[in-house]
């Protein structure tokens, strides 16, 4: 198969292209001058030249591929009859609410079963499900290199580590709301606090906790710019804003507790607010530094972004693929794919996460065996070379 790959400098792009090539596909990259998601003459002309290229009387490329969904790419593909494959790793990803999502050329894959069902029930028939993947070949080689290093070269050794965004910045939209009626804000804050204490259950879709009336009242005070290009479910956007606020709170609160008891480090984006007892080591490069951090840290934490309702976060797969040990909050699909205490460890409350961290810091052999088993599970079931054939064959 000949694949035209839209390269937008996404962190996992080279991993995916490498796997495509190892599967025997020809992969050529195209870069575009994106300014928003509208079709520009430059974008259309560039893609048109690729799409109309022929060899032996037939179209040269079989499909256009991208990580995440770009409505303008879909529009051009639809105009020229080119299959478009999109594998979405962001959640939420509101470009999927574009009217273009139902274009017949689309084959869109999302990693969250609950979200996939939501979009299908909404009438988007091009949405399918696939978990996310890893480059097993690259990580096997990197792990072998790490294991052969001399002791004097070894770095990134930590007791407890969290690598991820704290979102205590411009992405914390709830705290940017200028005004809510005191009684409404008090109630919403109570639900946010209650949600922090429970893993694996979404209170913001539970009518006993948040009613349609609550959401309607919030919409009176939280305004959105409506361009007409998207059929956004603004009630879902409100719920995602509240979920993001929960994520902000629980990541800080869990790390604060970890910092009180353990040698705890954080790798995150610039500008994060300090957390007492936690050493912020900045950004870790996805290809080189991150696998070393995961493999050499005794405990890697996964505190899932709450807008992921059921899917396995890529962080979990990245940790395990690097041979790292992970304690994760309970999530439905994590429990479907992995065995608790064998492949990884699941926590059911923040307190449970702290307690299990203490236990596994004292049980090295058990922790290392879980990491070893988990790595093999990810290599067997989540390698790009295992997942891509189904994703790419759909386009045929």
| pLDDT per position as a tens digit, 177-191 | 989 999 999 999 999
Residue 152: per-residue pLDDT: 55
Place of tokens 């051009």: 76
Average of pLDDT values for 58-65? 96
Residues 155 and 77: their CA atoms lie apart, in Å, by 47
Q: Which residue has the tokens 């948040």?
A: 210
Please choose, from the candidates 304, 312, 315, 306, the residue with its C-alpha nearest in 3D space to the C-alpha of residue 332.
312
Q: What pLDDT shows up at residue 129?
A: 97
Has residue 199 got a pLDDT over 90?
yes
Report, as an integer, the average pLDDT of 357-382: 98
Task: Give 220's contacts (C-beta < 8 A, 6+ positions apart).
Answer: none
Distance CA 67, CA 153 (A): 35
pLDDT at 46 over 70: yes
Please say if the pLDDT value at position 356 is more than 60. yes
**Class of residue 256 by CB neighbours under 10 A (exposed 0-12, middle 13-18, buried 19+):** middle
Given a cut of 80, whether residue 395 has pLDDT beyond it is no
Task: Tell me the CB-side half-sphere exposure of residue 11, using CA atoms within 13 A.
Answer: 15
Give the model's confidence band at 154: pLDDT under 50 very low, under 70 low, under 90 confident, else very high. low
Q: How far is it, in rounded angstroms, from Cα 273 to Cα 271?
A: 6
pLDDT band with cut points at 50, 70 and 90 for residue 61: very high
Predicted pLDDT of residue 168: 87
Determine the 3-state secondary structure of 130 from DSSP.
coil
Confidence of residue 354 (pLDDT cuts 50, 70, 90): very high
When the pLDDT of each residue in the chain is averaged and rounded to a whole number, the result is: 95
Residue 155 pLDDT class (50, 70, 90 cuts): confident
Q: Could you give all domains of the chain from N- to C-terminal order, each with its CATH number?
A: 2-130 (3.40.50.2000), 136-171+178-382 (3.40.50.2000)
Helix (H) or strand (E) holding 160: strand 160-163
pLDDT tens digits, one per residue of 91-141: 999 999 999 999 999 999 999 999 999 999 999 999 999 999 999 999 999
86-93 — which CB contacts under 8 Å span 24+ positions? Answer: 87/16, 87/130, 87/132, 87/391, 89/12, 89/132, 89/314, 91/115, 91/305, 91/307, 91/308, 91/311, 92/236, 92/237, 92/240, 92/307, 93/68, 93/69
**Length of the chain in terms of residues written:** 396
Helix ranges restricted to H, the chain: 13-22, 41-51, 71-80, 113-121, 136-148, 182-196, 212-221, 234-261, 289-296, 314-321, 332-337, 350-361, 364-382, 384-393
- 62-86: average pLDDT: 98
- Is the pLDDT at 153 greater than 60? The verdict is no
pLDDT-derived band at 394 (thresholds 50, 70, 90) equals: confident
CA-CA distance, 1 to 395, in Å (whole number)? 10
Tokens of 234: 């603004």
Where is average pLDDT lowest: 53-67, 142-156, 247-261, 309-323?
Answer: 142-156
**CA 168 → CA 174, 236, 273, 329, 392, distances in Å?**
11, 21, 7, 20, 38
- Helix, coil or strand: residue 277: coil
* pLDDT value of position 275: 96
Pair 372, 10: CB distance under 8 Å: no
Sorting pLDDT into bands at 50, 70 and 90, what band is 232? confident
**Could you tell me the CA-to-CA distances from 175 to 58, 170, 221, 241, 274 in Å, in that order?**
55, 9, 13, 10, 18
Residues 286, 301: Cα–Cα separation, whole Å? 17
**What pLDDT is recorded for position 86?**
98
Lowest mean pLDDT among 64-78, 154-168, 310-324, 367-381: 154-168
Q: Single out the residue of 388, 382, 321 nearest to residue 21, CA to CA.
A: 388
| pLDDT on residue 151 | 57
């Amino acid at each position: 198969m000949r694949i035209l790959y839209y390269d937008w400098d996404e962190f996992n792009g080279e991993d995916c292209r490498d796997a495509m090539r190892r599967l025997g596909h020809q992969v050529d990259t195209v870069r575009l001058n994106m300014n928003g998601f509208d079709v520009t003459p430059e974008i259309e002309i560039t893609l048109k030249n690729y799409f109309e290229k022929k060899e032996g009387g037939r179209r040269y490329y079989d499909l256009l591929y991208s990580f995440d969904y770009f409505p303008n790419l879909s529009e051009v593909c639809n105009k020229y009859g080119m299959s478009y494959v999109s594998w979405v790793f962001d959640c939420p990803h509101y470009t999927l609410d574009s009217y273009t999502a139902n274009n017949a050329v689309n084959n869109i894959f999302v990693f969250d079963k609950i979200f996939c069902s939501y979009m299908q029930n909404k009438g988007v028939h091009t949405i399918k499900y696939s978990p996310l993947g890893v480059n097993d070949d690259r990580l096997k080689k990197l792990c072998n290199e790490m294991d052969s290093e001399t002791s004097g070269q070894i770095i990134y050794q930590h007791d407890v580590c969290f690598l991820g965004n704290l979102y205590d910045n411009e992405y914390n939209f709830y705290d940017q709301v200028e005004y809510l009626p005191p009684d409404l804000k008090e109630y919403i804050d109570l639900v946010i606090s209650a949600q922090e204490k429970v893993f694996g259950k979404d209170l913001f879709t539970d009518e006993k906790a948040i009613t349609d009336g609550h959401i309607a009242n919030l919409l009176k005070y939280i305004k959105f710019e409506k361009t007409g290009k998207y059929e956004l479910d603004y009630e879902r956007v409100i719920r995602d804003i509240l979920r993001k606020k929960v994520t902000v709170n629980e990541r800080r609160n869990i790390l604060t507790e970890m910092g009180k008891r353990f040698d705890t480090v954080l790798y995150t984006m610039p500008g994060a607010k300090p957390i007492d007892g936690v050493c912020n080591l900045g950004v870790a490069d996805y290809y080189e530094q991150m696998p070393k951090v995961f493999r050499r840290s005794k405990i890697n934490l996964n505190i899932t972004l709450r807008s992921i309702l059921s899917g396995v976060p890529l962080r979990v797969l990245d940790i395990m693929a690097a041979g790292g040990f992970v304690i994760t909050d309970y999530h439905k699909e994590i429990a479907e794919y992995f065995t608790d205490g064998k492949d990884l460890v699941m926590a059911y409350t923040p307190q449970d996460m702290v307690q299990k961290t203490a236990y596994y810091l004292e049980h090295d052999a058990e922790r290392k065996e879980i990491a070893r088993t988990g790595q093999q599970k990810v290599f067997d079931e989540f390698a790009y070379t295992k997942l891509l054939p189904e994703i790419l064959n759909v386009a045929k």
